[in-house]
Chain A
Amino acid sequence: MGRRCAVVGIGQTDYRRRLEVSLEGLVRWAALAALEDAGLTFADIDAVVLGKAPDLLEGVMMPELTLADALGAVGKPIHRVHTAGSVGAATAISGATLVESGRYERVLVVAYEKQSEGNATWALSGGKSGGQGAGGTFAPWIRHYIRRSGAPEHIGWKVAVKDRRNALRNPHAHLRIPDISQAKVRESPMLWEPLHFLESCPSSDGAAAVVLASEDAARRGPSRPAWVVAHAKRSEFASFPGRDPVRPQAGVDCAEALYRKAGITDPLRQIDCAELYVPFSWYEPMWLEGHLLAAPGEGWKLTDSGATELGGSFPVNPSGGVLSSNPIGASGLVRCLEAARQVRGSAGDHQVDGARVALGHAYGGAAQYFAMWIVSADPDPVFA
């Protein structure tokens, strides 16, 4: 059902404090790169979808209005998505829906954050004193995970080292720590027990963009398409009696729906690599379990075995992930486009050899919003 949709163009800025550009310049950087990759110009685009985290981060209300000119959207539809931290992936999914509906041939999807314009901790606390930051929300659940799973404490350090090492292969990555080591992570300041400074994501500026196209349009493009074979979203309340915040049901449901749509029956084997939204190190094993890639209590063992390293059997975050670059509103789209780069074979130095099927993922809010997609080198991958 629905038309096929493919990623035909990918663009992203470097992720760091981008003090040399305006907001317009930032989003155009990514958009123009995606268009160039697709061999297109703004004139070829039928609709634009824009995603970012809260408007309070930059103090610009409904920025689709002020960025419409810069994104070549004048005279066209422009649509704005906001689903907390999952927004980048949710924006990609909205864009894919526009193509799948049969209504639009080519859709430009852009997501961004310019954290340096404001202060995320201020915004997340609603401007109040005593903001606890995202890590303060997640740390208690991480402790529960550790207690429940019996995971040794070095798992978090190991993820932090792996993702930072991967980042050294990704020229767009923000944090570049050549001498990263478990000792260095362990010795970095404790921010929120058990999370050390080096187990936490940075505060980045950046924009990401993809051009999504119908099958017809995709086959006419210059680059190899990454086919969007499935996507799924699920949300649940932030808190309620009976909730499992460590392994939220919405995350499980989202993964089940995603794999069912793609025809995937054994995700760990049938998916070649994943870009998971891991802003704090422990979320790698937590999402491996929470998204049915590993059985409960087994995720940390997969991480510990080295399987999730570049070169392992199931590389996770070969780009360096959110731990290395976090332009909040764009981070989910970066996961989705990095998955697409892998199956297009265009991931450069962090390419996973032979990747044909990849998972892009983001979550947001109090680990309550989930958005995921599966991209493939084949329009109709057959899973055995």
Chain B
Amino acid sequence: MTSSPAPPGAVRTVLEYPYTRTTGGVLGAFLTGIRDGRLLAGRVGGKTYVPPPEYDPVTGAAANPEFVEVGPGGTVTAWTWVRHPTAAHPFARPFAFALILLDGADTPFVHAIDAETPDRMTTGMRVTARFARERAGTITDFHFVPEPGTAREAHTDPSARPHPGTAPTTFGDAAGQSHSSSRTTGSPEPSTAAAGPGKPGEGEGPVTLTTHVISLEYEEALYPHRERFLAGLRRGEVVGQRSPVSGKVYVPGRGYDQLERVVMGEGDDVVVAAAGAVSSFTEITPVAYHGQKETEPYIRASILLDGSDSPVTGVDIRTIPLAEFRVGLRLRAVWRPEDERDLSGFDNRSTGGWEGVFASWEPTGEPDADVRALEEHAF
């Protein structure tokens, strides 16, 4: 998750990843058809299904569907008018989601209808597929519009764009594909030219892989014990919580002692030293992934602060050489100046974020702590 500006006292995180989905042959054929401007159904057991199934939907038995072209016209069998679209929807303006039975198919499927107003929507209405001019081979490459009268409207939409959440690609070509960031927010003008569905791209192979960018935002208030912990860091104190039952000190506090099953509140807060012994560490050799900012190796350590019974974890060490780093090594934190402390790396559950508060950790020069005694704190 990447933090983004949030209101005071709140934590906002974005969970975003571009998932790459391999399609297999049947879905691949369906999506390839879409890329080529055609809607394919699959005939299995005497029934014509949209989307084409990889197997007999009734029995689950293996089946090789016979592909048949259906649509582009169809009939609405049920619908809803979406008055408050989400950012993941195909339109930013109100639109319909509907079950649509394509001409030639036996089963309806769900898709979007750009109908401008709910007055135009009725069960049984005729709609027709309108394909984006640039198509990726995804389910968002087309949508439906009301079919005017009996005239067969050209169904290439000059304004439609590939959906930001999806991008096409063929085998082994997952990287380097650009996704459009625009959404179909304009008011598409029905094309008057008899454009027809687009032709298959020259030299393009079948669609075998599709990318779905999933991006979710989460926002919640800082928990009270967490807020007090962060307030402590802001003023230059590391605040933990002492269990009223066992006397053990947890840093940071979790608002409870899970061993004794008791809730801990403000009265249980205690200040511990910003110095202690390394209880555990690992050298991180960063691997690349979506959202990864680290490129150089560094040490991630857990430190048992003096006066506590649970180590602070996720402490990144970048100034002490690996060869000199060891369990038992005594360190003290060097605070950043108060007006330079950045708490944005902390959320309600993360263990990282210390770098915004401490400029570095320095060896104290004291003798090492007992390594065996630190084993229970090796987290």
A contacts B directly (C-beta below 8 A): yes
Interface readout for B1-21 with A: 1 if CB under 8 Å, 0 if not? Answer: 110000000000111110111
Q: Which B residues are within 8 Å of any A CB, using their own CB? A: 1-2, 13-17, 19-27, 53-55, 57, 59-62, 171-172, 208-209, 212, 214, 248, 258-259, 280-287, 289-294, 300, 309-310, 316, 322, 327, 350, 352, 371, 375-379
Q: Is A187 an interface residue (CB 8 A)?
A: no
CB–CB A132/B300 < 8 A:
yes
Name the contact of A58 in the complex, choosing from B19, B26, B294 (C-beta under 8 A).
Answer: B19
Q: Contact partner of A71 among B15, B59, B60, B285, CB < 8 A?
A: B60
Q: Is A133 in contact with chain B by the CB < 8 A criterion? A: yes
User: Least Cβ distance of B370 to chain A in Å?
Assistant: 12
In the complex the two chains form, what is the Cα distance from A239 to B311 in whole Å?
Answer: 10
> A74 to chain B: which residues have CB within 8 Å?
60
Residue of B nearest to A117 (CB): B19
- The answer on a CB contact under 8 Å between B377 and A241 is yes
A137 to chain B, nearest CB (A): 8
CB < 8 Å: which of A71, A121, A237 contacts B258?
A: A237
Complexed CA–CA distance, A24 and B55 (Å): 10
* A143 to B55 Cα, complex, angstroms: 50
Within 8 A of B (CB), among A183-222: 189, 191-193
Do the beta carbons of A127 and B23 come within 8 Å of each other? no
Report yes or no: B283 in contact with A193, Cβ–Cβ below 8 A: yes
Q: Give Cα A212–Cα B206 distance, bound, in whole angstroms.
A: 39
B2 partner, pick from A20, A129, A135, beta carbons under 8 A: A129
Find out whether the CB atom of B291 lies under 8 angstroms from the CB atom of A127.
yes
Contact of B310 (CB < 8 Å), options: A18, A58, A241, A244 = A241
17 further A-B contacts with Cβ under 8 Å, apart from A20-B24, A131-B292, are A20-B25, A22-B24, A22-B54, A28-B62, A41-B61, A42-B60, A59-B214, A72-B59, A119-B17, A119-B289, A127-B15, A129-B291, A130-B292, A135-B282, A136-B282, A136-B300, A140-B378
Complex A-B: 21 CB contacts under 8 Å: A20-B24, A21-B22, A22-B22, A25-B24, A28-B54, A28-B62, A41-B61, A43-B59, A70-B60, A72-B60, A117-B20, A117-B21, A117-B22, A118-B19, A118-B20, A130-B286, A131-B287, A136-B282, A140-B282, A245-B375, A245-B378
- A114, A144, A193, A239: the one contacting B375 at CB < 8 Å is A144
Give the chain A neighbours of B208 by CB distance below 8 A: 19-20
A32 at the interface (CB under 8 A from B): yes
Known: A130-B316, A246-B375. A140 touches B294 (CB 8 A): no
Whether the pair A19, B171 counts as a contact (CB closer than 8 A) is yes
B293's nearest neighbour on chain A, judged by CB, is A129
> Whole-angstrom distance from the CB of B14 to the nearest CB of chain A?
8
Q: Is the Cβ of B289 less than 8 Å from the Cβ of A19?
A: no
Number of residues from A at the complex interface, CB < 8 A: 62
| Residues on the B chain within 8 Å of A239, using CB | 310, 379
Across the interface, do B248 and A139 meet the contact criterion of CB distance under 8 Å?
A: no
A141 an interface residue at 8 Å Cβ cutoff? yes
The residue from A21, A119, A189 contacting B24, defined by CB atoms under 8 A apart: A21
Closest to A141 in B: B378
1/0 per residue, CB under 8 A from B, across A89-103: the answer is: 000000000000000
Return the 7 tightest CB-CB contacts between A and B, nearest first.
A72-B60, A22-B24, A239-B379, A129-B293, A42-B60, A127-B1, A140-B280
B60 nearest in chain A by CB position: A72
Could you say which of A42, A122, A192, A246 contacts B283, with CB atoms under 8 Å apart? A192
CB contacts (< 8 Å) of A137 on chain B: these are 282
Q: Give complex CA distance A131, B258 in Å.
A: 26
| A129 closest partner in B (C-beta) | B293
Q: How far is the CB of A366 from chain B (nearest CB, A)?
A: 7
CB-CB under 8 A from B60, the residues of chain A are 42, 69-72, 74
A131 and B350 form a contact (CB under 8 A): no
User: B171 to chain A: which residues have CB within 8 Å?
Assistant: 19
Closest chain A residue, CB of each to CB of B243: A241
CB pair B23–A22 under 8 Å, yes or no, is yes
Q: Is there an interface contact between A121 and B378, defined as CB atoms closer than 8 Å?
A: no
Q: For residue A121, which residues in chain B have a CB less than 8 angstroms away from its CB?
A: 287, 289
Contact B294 A129 (CB under 8 A): yes
A20-B24, A22-B27, A237-B258 known; A192+B282 contact, CB < 8 A: yes
CB neighbours (8 Å) of B13 from chain A are 127
CA distance A131 to B327 in the complex (A): 21
Interface residues of A in 128-176 (CB under 8 A from B): 128-133, 135-137, 139-141, 143-144, 147-148
* Distance A20 CA – B171 CA, assembled complex (angstroms): 9
Chain B residue with minimal CB distance to A123? Answer: B17
- Select B16's contact among A18, A20, A127, A246, beta carbons within 8 Å: A127
Residues of A within 8 A of B59 (CB): 41-43, 72
Residue of B nearest to A19 (CB): B22
* CB contact between A130 and one of B27, B57, B284 (< 8 Å): that residue: B284
How far apart sit A25 and B55, CA to CA, in the bound complex (Å)?
9
Chain B contacts of A346 at CB under 8 A? none
Instruction: Please give, as numbers and ranges, the residues of chain B lying within 8 Å of A133 by CB-CB distance.
Output: 287
Smallest distance from the beta carbon of A102 to chain B beta carbons, Å? 26
Give the docked Cα–Cα distance between A24 and B26 (Å): 11
Contact across chains for B284 and A132 when beta carbons are under 8 A apart: yes
- Give CA–CA (A71, B55) in the complex, Å: 10
- Closest partner residue, chain A, to B286 (CB atom): A130
Q: How far is the CA of A135 from the CA of B287 in the complex (A)?
A: 12
Return the chain B residue nearest A17 by Cβ: B22
**Chain B residues, Cβ within 8 Å of A20:** 22, 24-25, 208
Q: How far is the CA of A160 from the CA of B287 in the complex (A)?
A: 22
Q: Is A260 an interface residue (CB 8 A)?
A: no
A270 interfacial contact with B, CB 8 Å: no
Which residues does chain B contribute within 8 Å of A32, judged by CB atoms? 62
A182 touches B (CB below 8 Å): no
A69 to B56, CA, bound (A): 9
Cβ–Cβ < 8 Å partners of B62 in chain A: 28, 32
The answer, yes or no, to whether A238 is at the interface (CB within 8 Å) is yes
Contact B290 A122 (CB under 8 A): yes
Interface hub of B16, B60, B62, B350 (most chain A Cβ within 10 A): B60
State A226–B286 Cα separation when bound (angstroms): 44
Given A24-B54, A119-B17: A238 and B379 interface contact (C-beta under 8 Å): yes
Q: Which residues of B contact A25 (CB under 8 A)?
A: 24, 54
In contact, B24 and A132 (Cβ under 8 angstroms): no
Across-interface contacts of A42 in B (CB, < 8 A): 59-61
> Which residue among A58, A132, A192 has the maximum number of chain B CB atoms within 10 Å of its CB?
A132
- Interfacial chain A residues near B284, Cβ < 8 Å: 130, 132, 136
